[in-house]
Every structure is written in structure tokens, then in C-alpha cells.
Structure 1
């Protein structure tokens, strides 16, 4: 009921929760007691339709999303997987996409499917790039989550109803809106912050100078998450928005899918074996590479604790591996393999 009372003012809802430290007291302050009866009917509807209710206080609430100031108080989820995991990637773009956009979505999903720790692909179930992103993820065996701007009883666009059913089997369809919520234009804008907030990075596949995907990219940038964009010709309006994101240093330029993985520190499973084949590495250096191959950045002390080498020796070997082009220092002296 509190979620409904302040569904267009998330910051206000958060402030009240902090002030009262109690959802019941916070709700009473909005002076809309009739919402309790409506909320009870909603809960009954969700129980009968296998829809999970996840509040911001629950352990199952997306941890990345909980970090943003305007996170929804409640999410409604229908699907087979939870909303947390080691890696999440948003893939978004225009509804009026070109054939090239589909190729890019396939390229992203194919690369990500080869990672040792596969990311969950997040998008908005809209026409165009969103649909391509979900289809490509499913085709390459990746879990995918659709964030919709309506109630879960109403799939928009209707032509994506079958796709939504497939996503439920290999991921989840989620929303912050109650059932019977129609397609208000403002809800699509609000939905974009959830897509960005759930993810480690956001890829804009194709966008004109104005579009919802630019709002998603802007939100991701504001949340200090990585943003990526495919570039286009200067005279191609289909990529005007992507080019602008790159020009303004909001987005990393995507030359191929590996550049997304490179910037996020997500390494392909083939990289370690290639490194071992090309270089005559010592047992100690090979051990360091194998530890880094799980895809999680680590510093010298963490690696030393796992492999039993001294931190001083690990630091020296990491420097040598970096000079050989086999690892990269990404931040705060943490390393990932190349």
C-alpha cells in the first residue's frame, strides 16, 4: 500500500521509511487507508498467479538496484530465477531498429554465452532492440529479465506475449506496478531506471538523438555504472544518440563484444588457455591466471591468500603478467585477465 501511495515519488517514500523506520507508520502518514483493501486484493491476485512480491527489505531484492536513491519499494516478479546474480548486463535501444541492431544483439549474446560466469541480460520487452536482446539471450542459452512498465496481467506490446512466456521459463518478467496498470507514457521512463539500476553495465545498441534508451543510459551513468554504445556514421540518424553518448564521454565505444567484457573485467573462457599456449609460464604465474579466470577482479593480497604465495611475490608476478599483456590493473590495484 505504501508503494502505491508514493509510486511516483520514490524518494519521498524512502525518506518516510527512514524517518519512521516502519512501513506501517510511513503509510499512515499518506492518509489513504482505502489502499489497504486494494493491497489485500493485489496480494490475493499474486498468490493465485504465482507472482512473487519482493520488498526493498527482502534479501531477494536486487542488490544493485537497492543501491540507487530512487529504487522502487516493491517489485513483482513472475519467473524461474531470482533477481540477484554475479553479473547483469542491460541491452537497450530504439523501438524502430534496423537489421544491424539484431546482428549486434546476437553478437553480444554469443560472446557473453562464452564467459565462465554468464551475465543475465536485462531489457524492457519493447519492440525493436529490446525484443532482439531477449530473443538473442534465449537463443544463446542466457537467462534474461524483462522489466515492464505495466502490471504483470497486461503484456505490452501484445505481440510479445509469447516472448514474455519464454522469458518466464528462462528468467523473469518484473514490474513495480500493480495489476491493471495500463501503458502510461511516464511509466516507460520510470521503468528505465530499474533496467539501469539492476545492471553492472548498459549497452545502447542503436538510438536516434532522442529516445528512451538514452534515458536509460543517462540513469546508468548517474548511478556510476558503465555505459556502452555502438557507433554509427555521422550522417546516419539511426545512431545519432549513440554517437552523442560517445562524443560526450558518457559511453565507451563498442568496437566488438569483447570491448564490453574488457571494460567490465569479464574475461572469456578461451583467454586463459590461449595465454597458457602462447607463453611459457611458470607454475606460480599459471596459478595466478587460473585464480583470476573466475572473472572476479582481485588484488595481490587476495590472490596470495588463495594460492599460498607471498603478497610481495604475487605483486611482482602480476607486474610481469601485465607487461606480457596477460592481465590488466582495472582499479584500486585489482587485476583481471586479458
Structure 2
């Protein structure tokens, strides 16, 4: 007998819609499968066989959500990109330890399960997993009427990666004179949206206003610029690690420069960065001007155009930059490590 419940449907939960959503998302999940995945869709748990070849493998886990950037997804009725953000926020953290992301699980909570919308969300998650070389081995969609409005949802997930114990990147090898390299962001990524919503009054703006092209943004609309998905740095960084010693990595998320760059630097040392060397993206200039936000707050909230920072020795800086440029990343020298009681010297 086919699973169904008319009583549950009258209470607001349509389990048949859940089955339909699973059927729609199967094609996207299939793109992420690797030989290490031992389970199919629909089991009680996702099975993943650890890769061979590591002497002392260490698992590294990271979890995150998309945050209030989802409000923009609701406004624009665009659901196929925020899943990339969800994956990116997790795998970009995991790679900071030097770990290769193995698999990902997502969690979607919604007021009403619209199968086509859920499938679009999972399409984005799957795309993020493909970009990270990670398998989407499971997830959960929870229909919660009365808790979420019918047209709204939340999206979160977690990543598990693996690294050889002797190759963990933890900043302990950072020395005075080492160099800081910037990897450009695609835009705002997935942080600071509570402030952005206030600056642009996104809770009251119309869809038409959000989609109006702006010259300052190169003809892109505000909505399109803000909804650009978080860049995933996993594959180029894994490739770089094979040829260059990375002493420290920082994913620039909430808290901006001031909170995240110091996390990869030992006590007694600091990163000296000149503001004129930061390649600030136009969207941040617009946010700063429109919101009359102090420069210090901008650097303590947003990535300002720098999605990741790397620490390498002075001798390997040129090689690292050349390799990254060859991978299509417009990496550039951002600063240097100096002896300091303050871990960030932004001058």
C-alpha cells in the first residue's frame, strides 16, 4: 500500500509532496556520487567508505547555514543558488584545516513542501557539492506548517572532510616575514545580510526595484549582485597544497577581516595589511555609501572582496601566486606577517 495520510495532510503536512520532491531531486544528487558512497537515497543514514592511503587520517567537520540571505531568495523567487552558499560556508571552513571534503548533508525546513522549490534548493546544494568534489549522501526536508510561513524556508547543512594528521594546517608554522595572499570573493557571499537588509530596506523593497540594473554595479541589479553564490575554493586549494606549503588559511565570513584573519595567526604575530592594497568590490562601496557605515565596521562585517587569505613563506609567494592565477583565480599579495601584539594591523 502506498504511504499517505489524509489526516496529516489536513493538518498541513503533505507527505506525498515529500515523495515527489525526492523524485525531482534525484537527478541532481546523482551528479555528486563517488565510488566511496555505499548507500542510495532514502535510507536512514548515508554510508561513506573512507578513502585509502592515509597513515593517520583525521576527520574534520563543519556546519553552517545561509542566514538571512534567504530573505532575498524569497523576494526574487530564486531558489537554485542558495544551496551553493550552504555548501560553500561549510567546505570553505573545512579546507582551512587542509582537509578534503568527503560528503555533505543538508537540512531544509519549510512551511509548505512545494516539490519543485525543494528540488531547486537541492539542485543548488548538489552544484556546490560538485564544485567541492563532495558527495551529497543524505539530508532532511521538514514540512512545518504554523512554524514557517508557506513561502519561506530555512537551509543548513554540514560537511565532513579528511586530512593526514601530519598535514593539518593550524597556523603553528607561521613566522615573521611570511606573506599573506588574497583570494577574491564573488561578492558579499553569505554574511552581513541583516545589515544589508537594513541598508537597502530589503524587507519592504519590491521585486521590480530589486531587479533594476545599477550602473555602479556594472549593469547588474542589486538583487542579482547580492544573490551571487559564495565562491568555493576547495579544488584550487587542494591542488595548491600539493606544490606549496600553506601555513595558514582563513575563510573570511561573519566578522570580516578583524575576526577571521587572526584565527590563522599564532600569538605574538600579526598580519599587516594596507587598505589601499585591498581590491574592494563595487557592491561594498555601495553598501558603505548607502548605509553611511564607518569603514572600520565594513571591515569587521564583510569580506570586502577577499573570500579567503593564505599564508605562505616569502620564498614561495611568487610560485603560489603564479599557480593560483593559472587556475583562474585573480589572487594577489595582501600583506605580511609581522611581530605584533595585535593580530591584525589594517593601515
TMscore range, shorter length: under 0.3
Normalising by the residue count of structure 2, what TM-score does the alignment of the two structures yield?
Answer: 0.26
Structure richer in strand, relative to its length: 2
Structure richer in helix, relative to its length: 1
Question: Does 1 or 2 have the higher relative contact order (CA < 8 Å, sep 6+)?
Answer: 2
